[in-house]
Amino acid sequence: MDIRTRILKAAADVYASTGFRGATTRRIAQEAGCNEITLFRHFGSKACLLHEAVRCAGMEIAPTTLPDPPRSPRAELSDWAHRQHQHLLEKRSIIRTCMGEVEEHPEIFPTADGATDHAALGLTTYLAGLKAHKLTAVDFDEGAAAAMLIGVLFADAMGRDIMPKLFPAKPEQAVTRYVDLFLRAIGAVKQ
């Protein structure tokens, strides 16, 4: 692997587990298996390195999309939710660290082009499509509904390892149940 890539990965890992202050240049260099100076030669400063490392770590996402003409809400939403949850679960460490430091280092937080915003937009559009195609029996606010589904997926992925009482079920089972509840909440027509 390229040394630059190795450094970026090491920086993201160390940052995820120790935060900005804890991610010392010495430790990142050790984790990357290179000399400390090489970091500075490549990225100039610790701040620039971490900034880019977090940006790249967030960019690895393969954004799951929902079909444009919705056909089978249950199947499509279930598939989408499981993928989103899986992704959040894998990245939970760096996401939690980023969120914990967003007030001190807002510039390091991937905001506008973040995956979550993208996911929210996609889901909202999909839900609007559901209504347009008469696949729901009741009226509801797409924005609130999207926030609700994404919210519970997010909270579950962030909290299940540290608050096991709140999320006792296994990940896949839990997500399936969330989707079930969600479908009923938006009055999805059974197929």
Partner DNA sequence: ATGCCTTGCAAGCATACACTTGCATACATC
Partner DNA sequence: GATGTATGCAAGTGTATGCTTGCAAGGCAT
Q: Which does 41 bind (CB under 5 to 8 A by kind): DNA, its own copies, none?
A: DNA
Cβ partners under 8 Å of residue 129, min gap 6: 68, 69, 70
Distance CA 92, CA 71 (A): 31
Phi-psi label, residue 187: left if phi above 0, alpha if psi -120 to 50, beta otherwise: left
Q: Which is nearer to its own copies, 44 or 143 (CB)?
A: 143
Q: Which does 35 bind (CB under 5 to 8 A by kind): its own copies, DNA, none?
A: DNA
Q: Write each residue from 34 to 53 as x if it is in contact with DNA (CB under 7 A), else as -, in one continuous string.
A: xxxxx-xxx--xxx------
Q: Which does 165 bind (CB under 5 to 8 A by kind): DNA, its own copies, none?
A: its own copies
With CA atoms as reference, report the closest residue to 146 among 170, 113, 117: 117
User: Looking only at residues 80 through 109 of this chain, which bind its own copies when binding is defined by CB under 8 A?
Assistant: 93, 96-104, 106, 109
Q: Is 19 in the site for its own copies (CB under 8 A)?
A: yes
Binding test (CB under 8 A) with its own copies, winner from 155, 170, 171, 172: 155
Q: Which does 75 bind (CB under 5 to 8 A by kind): DNA, its own copies, none?
A: none
Binding test (CB under 8 A) with its own copies, winner from 5, 17, 45, 72: 17
Distance CA 133, CA 147 (A): 21
User: Looking only at residues 113 through 142 of this chain, which bind its own copies when binding is defined by CB under 8 A?
Assistant: 114, 116-117, 120-121, 138, 140-141
Distance CA 35, CA 32 (A): 9
Q: Are 94 and 15 in contact (CB under 8 A)?
A: yes
Q: Is 47 in the site for its own copies (CB under 8 A)?
A: no
Q: Closest distance between DNA and the C-beta of residue 19, in Å?
A: 11
And the tokens for 61? Answer: 């996402």
Q: Which long-range contacts (CB under 8 A, 24 or more apart) does 22-25 make?
A: 23/50, 25/49
Distance CA 36, CA 29 (A): 5
Q: Is 165 in the site for DNA (CB under 7 A)?
A: no
- Which residues form the interface with DNA (CB under 7 A)? 3-4, 21, 23-27, 33-38, 40-42, 45-47
